[in-house]
Amino acid sequence: MDTDLSAGKELPLNGFSSGMIIALKSAKFDLTVPPDNDWVSVSPRMDLDLWNVNNDIILCITILRGKNKVFFNDRADKSLLDGWGQEKSVELSPVDVDRWQRSGVTISVHDCSTSSKEQYQILFDLTTMCHFDKRFPGPPIKIEYSAQ
């Protein structure tokens, strides 16, 4: 399996199930606003999306530069409205962001589902950022990274 997930690429996830962990180590994690707010050369938004076989985004992790905040959501492929679920957000510690900008960060998604609750635990460098309840059945089949 390919281990490089750069912007605009996706990787297949084979056999991901309850108890398993996806871990992604960033080569760079720069959340600073570019000089003179020149957003032409820098992506202001980064998304990590987990997809299921029905083309639903079962977990979307969004990081916005200059905000020190991370957002979690999901989106149904087929919906009467826009398909987006209940968004959660978490403020990032300035101390952690500073460290991550120097050495990168490992983002992990742990399927910690039990018989009574189906959810993901999302960690940044082994610190839990969010427990996100699953809205869609089935395991993720691919992960996609985009920078816009």
User: For each successive 10 residues of the chain (148 residues), what is the average pLDDT?
Assistant: 69 84 83 76 85 96 89 94 94 89 90 91 94 92 88
Domain count, the chain: 1
CATH number, position 27 = 2.60.120.200
Q: What is the pLDDT of residue 3?
A: 65
Q: What is the pLDDT of residue 38?
A: 74
Q: What is the pLDDT of residue 56?
A: 96
Alpha carbon distance 103, 88 (integer Å): 26
Looking at the domain assignment, is residue 94 inside a domain?
Answer: yes
Q: What is the pLDDT of residue 119?
A: 94
Secondary structure element (H or E) that encloses residue 95, with its range: helix 94-103
Alpha carbon distance 36, 13 (integer Å): 40
Q: How many of the other CB atoms lie within 10 Å of CB of 77?
A: 12
- CA 18 vs CA 22, 84, 100, 124, 134: distances in Å: 11, 24, 28, 19, 12
The residue whose two tokens read 């992990």 is 108
Looking at the domain assignment, is residue 5 inside a domain?
Answer: no
Looking at the domain assignment, is residue 3 inside a domain?
Answer: no
For 14, the domain range is 10-32+41-147
Alpha carbon distance 124, 34 (integer Å): 23
Q: What is the pLDDT of residue 127?
A: 92
Looking at the domain assignment, is residue 4 inside a domain?
Answer: no
